[in-house]
A and B are shown apart, each in its own frame.
Chain A
Amino acid sequence: MNRSFHKSQTLRCYNCSAVEVKSKFGAEFRRFSLDRHKPGRFEDFYKLVVHTHRISNSDVTIGYADVHGDLLPINNDDNFCKAVSSANPLLRVFIQKREEADHYSFGAGTLSRKKKVLVALRDEGLRRRAHLAISMPHDFRPVSSVIDVDILPETHRRVRLYRHGCEKPLGFYIRDGISVRVTPHGLEKVPGIFISRMVPGGLAESTGLLAVNDEVLEVNGIEVAGKTLDQVTDMMIANSHNLIVTVKPANQRNNVVRGSRAPSSAGQSSDGAGPPAAHVLQNFHPDEVESDEDADIVIEGAAAPPAPTRGAPPGGLTRANGTGLVPRPPRDAPLNSSGREGGGLHRMLSALQPDPRHSLVLPRGGVEEHGPALTL
């Protein structure tokens, strides 16, 4: 079917500015067109789609097939524009009800299963795992990222793990080891810290950016050379809410290749011998991190004179730095207004300004663990 479909593309007229859209919802197709150069806004497009399919009352997700046949989401102006401009020439749109949305579909090449054999060959046997769980974009929360690619030597990788609010364990172990470095005096063995084990299902493993036997070079911008295993352990744990580790991967084949340099030259030969990159964490905003982590929880005590039984912990809940926790609905507040400060607490809660940065990352652990405090 795909094949015949592609054949028909040649029949289309080239210089037409209109983009033909074929929209599919369930078994139904709708066809309409958009202006390639002025596609308009996503919101309008969404309205148009649900209107055309007569499904205005349900919440849907919209995706399209790109040139490679991958199913990509359309959920904002940018990817909508991209979808329209890259349509060649037909834009195939797929609509799913949100609750039924196939989380396994985006990005995993569901439309190109037949090509998979070829892809697999090209990628030298690197199998992609089908059905990767990718949730809806607005549910996204950063889990990990590779940062500072532009300033690090190609043999190094700086990985940021966001554990904040995540139930998964960080999930890796480190050990002492011997690292071989090229120095002006030839090869030199120096002690180093290595990743020794990954916990299956842990955050570190699930990112795929760290692997066993990777050498740890830095922790949150601080070089680990000369530090003991215990010191590095403590540093990592102290930074565990937002851990940035610079590693020299044991497997150097997946390195990012930059500029005109051939991948071979960037490989093992310059292994750690090159001049160290400027040791600056660029994509790292201290304020951001600190406020993340600073969010110590302060529970305001009730002002009632203590009854003889002091079991019931009084108090409301608020975040120390005015971040994060969205003020609870007022109906919760009066529960603690047993004394002088009841009103004060309410005022304080409403005076809090929720920080947009934290709207995504609710410190669930922190709140839940304070069981008694939540029985407001």
Chain B
Amino acid sequence: MMKFRFRRQGADPQREKLKQELFAFNKTVEHGFPNQPSALAFDPELRIMAIGTRSGAVKIYGAPGVEFTGLHRDAATVTQMHFLPGQGRLLTLLDDSSLHLWEIIHHNGCAHLEEALSFQLPGRPGFDGASAPPSLTRVTVVLLVAAGDMAALGTEGGSVFFLDVTTLTLLEGQTLGPDEVLRSLPDDYRCGKALGPVESLQGHLRDPTKILIGYSRGLLVIWNQAARCVDHVFLGNQQLESLCWGRDGSTVTSSHSDGSYAVWSADVGSSPALQPTVATTPYGPFPCKAINKILWRNCESGGHFIIFSGGMPRASYGDRHCVSVLRAEVLVTLDFTSRIIDFFTVHSTRPEDEFDDPQALAVLLEEELVVLDLQTPGWPAVPAPYLAPLHSSAITCSAHVANVPAKLWARIVSAGEQQSPQPASSASSWPITGGRNLAQEPSQRGLLLTGHEDGTVRFWDASGVALRPLYKLSTAGLFQTDCEHADSLAQAAEDDWPPFRKVGCFDPYSDDPRLGVQKVSLCKYTAQMVVAGTAGQVLVLELSDVPSEHAVSVASVDLLQDREGFTWKGHERLSPRAGLLPWAAGFQPRVLVQCLPPAAVTAVTLHTEWGLVAFGTSHGFGLFDYQRKSPVLARCTLHPNDSLAMEGPLSRVKSLKKSLRQSFRRIRKSRVSGKKRAANANSKLQEANAQLAEQACPHDVEMTPVQRRIEPRSADDSLSGVVRCLYFADTFLRDELCLAAAHHGPTMWAGTNSGSVFAYALEVPVAAAAGSEKRPEGAVEAVLGKEVQLMHRAPVVAIAVLDGRGRPLPEPYEASRDLAQAPDMQGGHAVLIASEEQFKVFTLPKVSAKTKFKLTAHEGCRVRKVALATFASVACEDYAETCLACLTNLGDVHVFSVPGLRPQVHYSCIRKEDISGIASCVFTRHGQGFYLISPSEFERFSLSARNITEPLCSLDISWPRNATRASYRLRESPKLSQANGTPSIILAPQSCDGSPDPAHSKGTDTSEPLEAVLSPMSVDSATSADTTLDTTGDVTVEDVKDFLSSSEESEKNLRNLAEDEARACAILIK
């Protein structure tokens, strides 16, 4: 409303309609590994897996592309999850002791996860609700009995409650109190002590009336629910951690807090049993840590698997995260890099089968999911088709390449396969295969590149819902780092007992932070790429299908250009290895350009047709001819007063040695170790403290108000010389007024933090014959053509040249290979310069302003990321518009027309507090985008109404419907609570398929017979779980600069004088 009147555009209804056809905001899918997982469940019938998180999200995974997401209304930790086998329903227990029933429902043929019911255990019956300590009714364990119709809840107080699952109502009168159990115990065992909380509940596979109950004190009881009597009692005396009931019901395995496990025989008639048949401490004799969970699986081929977590010798290996797999004489100690959350085996669950025959072991860790094939000797790990730990080393940058040619795709895939050989047998493939992916094959291949702190670049298949790892490029091999020798020595020196085996790829400890990848650029036509890092290294690489051994030529470019008076106080440059080096098939380095001083590279761009790479740091930018391996240009952009940039970052970048690494691990360990419940109590305490602090906060604000200085930028602000963007274009830069038609030619553009833009005209030798790959030999020359100083001095975020039709110029080779329309070189070109505060289009070659939009002046937000994207219409097959997509520091996404720069739509996308999310955002060429919602997860969003990548899948579920279903369908969908500011389509409450059909009984029912047309528009997107984010990711100085305020207290005392003066002047004006 407060826009200037003359700016108001009449809402053109036609344009509005077109906008609706072009733009729509959806958060579609989360890629990567869920942040802070806390619970795991597996449905052996549907072969789907569920992961719950500490923020209350529930994610269900099946075959690649089959994904469901739900979010509990309360952001409480999901502590346990249990599938109702084959029904597509899931019972979750949160740490506030509430139970929630989720179900997978099909709408229009596509399945969604929705919360159906919730339940909170009331105060203990028979007691006054107020007097009973609430902790006594805290649910510790849940067991689904009788094929999922009934659930048993074990509590802190030792009681077991029974619950009707379909309605989530308590079955009164069936509750089993500890007193009832105590009655059947011998007096000397009782000796006046309580049994402790219910630690474990296990059901019998074949006899659903029997329940194995384990109490914390060590007592095991087989309870016959039908007869309501104790069948069997095992008088254990060691504190119990977990239980496992053998398939035939004759053996019970218990694990204990002292690191021992015991096997009890249930066949022996003598009840109570006093002694286990076997009791061992596998990693004894020295004190061991608790075995938190144990599984006993028998095999047809004889013998059995015992799989347990923990139990390591406390003193020597107490800090390891281990799962031990024992079969007969073979013991393997799987050594993981992060805490173990839970694990399960994929095995036969049909009651009629004689044996479990486990096929695979899936271990959920804090930071990754590892699946081992138990049928192949050696138990190799199975590569996961999704749930990849993106953060196996912290992500430092990302880039998206759209429309990857099939040839390059195949070469990258084959390079990746040579890196990690795929399992030969198809039997040992990914065991979690439930559901059907209904999404169409992606029309084009999208590649997501992530640069990591350890100097690797990972290539991900981002074409579909499942983000699949393709290939990993490591640049560390080119450099000498001081850590690697120590590492290999340490490995060899380790004892062979316990038989550790390193599993998993999560390794957050960077050997040398200078290896960190800052910028990546890939040319998809020539398979050449440039990777630039923290220590000013710029690597030009080329994809090769065969391994080779060659030396990498090194050149250094001094960006200071004899600027006097500055000394670099930052890190040293990385020293490259000399001589011939072996390189595996894949991207192999050709040239290393070292920027001096070795500050982090802040911008990079590659032009393969001209054989040029441009790079910039906080000191200046350079241009390098990698074909002739000679520098072309170096220019210092430092302001004379800017000393901060020179001195480099504070010396936090010392390389971390192995010892440091170990101590970090120990610190981490000590933080997360200890009993679960203690941790819970701690977290409660912290929560309360946090709330107190929050309440106290407003007072503090009133005491010392935050103030902001209103002062325009001056030229000598620090870091003004940082090169923010670089760009190559074939366009008109030189204005030769005498000629009627100015001629175009190669140009290079650079934009800095202080709003300066430098444009160079390049003299590149032209290939005589069109179509030849290599340009002829000859020196490249660069001539400064234009220098633009934006008056508002805001950092230049992006530069792009638009052709005569107002479209961005194609990438190198794109036009010449007929993959894109050739640019219009007749009409006048224009350059779009996006600064943090405004967008401007200037004419070329005479740089005069044509259109602009002052975003900051209007909205009070700053530009963080921009990209030119093509938006295709949903209504018309071949109508598309090129627009400017922009992410602001408030987390909003705006779309502007190009070159008119008229605002089209805007959506709120990321929370503005989520600095790392905003910093990590990357847009694709077709109106999608990615940003990190946690260190390990990318959220994918779509701005385009047509180009949406979201999970569309179905699941063959079968469960008895009954009348209760209609009543709870009316409840609010939990997705409503996800305030992401988007007009997401909410499906109206409806009863899916009419009246309950008595003929629908379990087993006969297959998938829902809905044959609706799949239209992406009508599908409610599976939106994000609003998880609490750890914002310790890649935060640059610019990101936090806004949060720092300067205060000049010295000026305060003159305030009175100022007021007097103000009054006098006001009279004068009057």
Contacts and interface: CB of A to CB of B under 8 A. Distances in A.
A-B pairs, top 8 by smallest CB distance, nearest first, are A208-B1065, A231-B860, A301-B784, A238-B856, A299-B787, A240-B712, A233-B708, A208-B1062
Contact of B1042 (A207, A230, A254): A230
Contact of A296 (B708, B791, B1065): B791
Contact of B713 (A174, A237, A239, A302): A237
Interface string A167-210: 00111111111000000000000000000111110001111111
Given A234-B861, A279-B1, A296 B790 contact: yes
A299 B788 CA distance: 6
B1070 A321 contact: no
Interface string B702-726: 0001111111110100000000000
Contact of B712 (A163, A205, A279, A321): A163
A201 B244 CA distance: 80
Contacts of A296: 788-791, 840, 849
Nearest to B1043: A230
A305 interface: yes
Nearest to B713: A237
B933 to A, nearest CB: 22
A348 B845 CA distance: 13
Contact of B852 (A173, A221, A294, A366): A294
Interface stretch (B498-506, B508-516, B733-741): B733-741
Interface in A94-135: 107, 123, 126-129, 132
A224 B860 CA distance: 9
A238 B736 contact: no
B786 interface: yes
A338 B781 CA distance: 17
Interface string A342-372: 0010011000000000000001011001110
B857 interface: yes
Contact of B783 (A286, A304, A363): A304
Contact of B1067 (A123, A197, A322): A123
Task: Kindly name the residue among B561, B794, B1054 whose own CB sees the greatest number of chain A CB atoms within 10 A.
Answer: B1054
A256 B710 contact: no
Nearest to B716: A369
A230 B784 contact: no
Interface in B1-22: 1-7
Contacts of A370: 789
B633 A175 contact: no
B787 A280 contact: no
Interface string A295-324: 111111111111000110111000011100
Interface in B535-583: 561-562
Contacts of A347: 737
A364 B781 CA distance: 34
B783 A128 contact: no
Given A221-B2, A235-B860, A254 B848 contact: no
B847 interface: yes
B73 interface: no
A223 interface: yes
B183 interface: no
A218 B532 CA distance: 45
Contacts of A314: 784
Given A233-B708, A238-B837, A239-B857, A294 B849 contact: yes
A300 B710 CA distance: 33
Instruction: Using C-beta atoms within 8 Å of the partner chain, give the interface range for chain B.
Output: 35 or more
B124 interface: no
14 contacts: A197-B1051, A197-B1052, A208-B1064, A222-B2, A227-B860, A229-B708, A232-B860, A233-B709, A238-B838, A299-B789, A305-B783, A320-B842, A320-B847, A344-B738
A209 B1066 contact: yes
Given A128-B1067, A232-B860, A321-B849, A205 B1062 contact: yes
Interface in B800-814: none
A175 B4 contact: no
Given A173-B708, A254-B1067, A238 B792 contact: yes
B2 A279 contact: yes
Nearest to B1053: A200
B792 A231 contact: no
A82 B965 CA distance: 91
A231 B859 contact: yes
Contacts, number: 238
B650 interface: no
Contacts of B1060: 127
B783 to A, nearest CB: 6
Interface in B835-882: 837-838, 840, 842, 847-849, 852, 854, 856-862
B635 interface: yes
B707 A174 contact: yes
B439 interface: no
Interface string B283-302: 00000000000000000000
Contact of A280 (B5, B715, B782, B1058): B5
A60 interface: no
B4 A281 contact: yes
B792 A169 contact: no
B707 A175 contact: yes
B1061 A129 contact: yes
Given A200-B1051, A286-B4, A230 B708 contact: yes
A177 B1058 contact: no
A373 interface: yes
B708 A174 contact: yes
**Chain A interface extent, by class:** 35 or more
Contacts of A205: 1058, 1061-1062
Interface string B1032-1070: 000000000010000010011011011111111111111
A232 B634 CA distance: 39
A81 interface: no
A146 interface: yes
Contacts of B1062: 205, 208-211
Contacts of B763: 305
Given A129-B1064, A197-B1051, A293 B786 contact: no
Given A207-B1065, A238-B854, A301-B786, A197 B707 contact: yes
B862 A234 contact: yes
A372 B735 CA distance: 22
B860 A234 contact: yes
Interface in A259-315: 279-281, 286, 293-306, 310-311, 313-315
B672 interface: no
Contacts of B783: 301-306
Contact of B791 (A132, A169, A279, A293): A293
B142 interface: no
B710 A310 contact: no
Given A208-B1069, A310-B634, A322-B848, A298 B860 contact: no
A241 B854 CA distance: 13
Contacts of B1054: 200
B890 interface: yes
B1063 A254 contact: yes
A23 interface: no
Nearest to A373: B787
Contacts of A127: 1060, 1064
Interface string B759-787: 11101000000000000000001111111
A220 interface: yes
Contacts of A170: 710-712
A234 B635 CA distance: 31
Nearest to B709: A173
B701 interface: yes
A90 interface: no
A235 B760 CA distance: 33
A76 B712 CA distance: 37
Contacts of B705: 175-177, 196
A212 interface: yes
Interface string B613-624: 000000000000
Interface string B983-1023: 00000000000000000000000000000000000000000
